[in-house]
Amino acid sequence: MKSITCCFFGHRTINETEELKLKLNEIIEKLIVDEKVDTFLFGSKSRFNSLCLEVVTKIKEKHPHIKRIYVRAEYPYISEHYKNYLLESYEDTYYPENIIGSGRAAYVERNYEMIDKSHYCIVYYDEANAPTTRKSGTKIALDYALKKQKYIIMLPTEITNM
């Protein structure tokens, strides 16, 4: 049976509220129960990713079959020690081969990889708090997900797009 996958991406800093945590919990639970999502892809370097991992980990107590996978944008080759450390929080981790040699674009390419492998994208994008001195990685990923016609769930205000 083929996995049904959801990825997360969002700003490095977020307005973390109890309402946001409850909304995330509700969305993820609905995806697992109604849409049969069983695999969740996580990146790094953002508080939104960390929060999503916390929520999915808690939900995993109720739905032990779901998988959490950390998609690395750094360290194509890792030690057994580091891998074991990561596997304390995730069921698996990998570094996409196609991003080797991407340099500073590794995070953008990693996000593209997660989007390409996902049916659903849960995104934390707040235009008012997006960086103005550089291009927002979240905005780049969001534009790519829209172009790829992924099912997008937007936070902090929930907007769905298909």
**Structure-block tokens of residue 125:** 């994008």
Torsion of CA 82, 5, 42, 105, to 10 degrees: 100
| pTM for the full predicted model | 0.92
Residue predicted with more confidence, 43 or 103: 43
| pLDDT at position 2 | 84
For the chain, domains (ranges, CATH) are 5-161 (3.40.50.450)
pLDDT at 159 exceeding the cut of 60: no
What separation in angstroms does the CA of 162 have from each of 92, 117, 142, 146? Answer: 29, 16, 13, 8
**What is the predicted pLDDT for the residue at 1?**
65
User: What gap in Å lies between CA 139 and CA 156, rounded to an integer?
Assistant: 14
- Dump pLDDT digits (tens) for 117-156: 999 999 999 877 776 767 788 999 999 999 999 999 999 8
Distance between CA atoms of residues 130 and 89, nearest Å: 29
Say if strands 5-10 and 39-42 run parallel, antiparallel, or are unpaired: parallel
Q: How confident is the model at residue 161 (pLDDT cuts 50, 70, 90)?
A: very low
Q: Which long-range contacts (CB under 8 A, 24 or more apart) does 88-96 make?
A: 89/53, 89/57, 90/42, 91/67, 92/67, 93/69, 94/69, 95/71, 96/71
Q: Which whole number is the average pLDDT over 79-89?
A: 96
pLDDT in tens, 49-58: 999 999 999 9
**pLDDT tens, 13-48?**
888 899 999 999 999 999 999 999 999 999 988 899
pLDDT score at 123: 95
Whole-number average pLDDT of the chain: 91
DSSP 45: S
Residues linked to residue 68 through DSSP beta bridges, in sequence order:
40
Task: Give the pLDDT score at 158.
Answer: 57
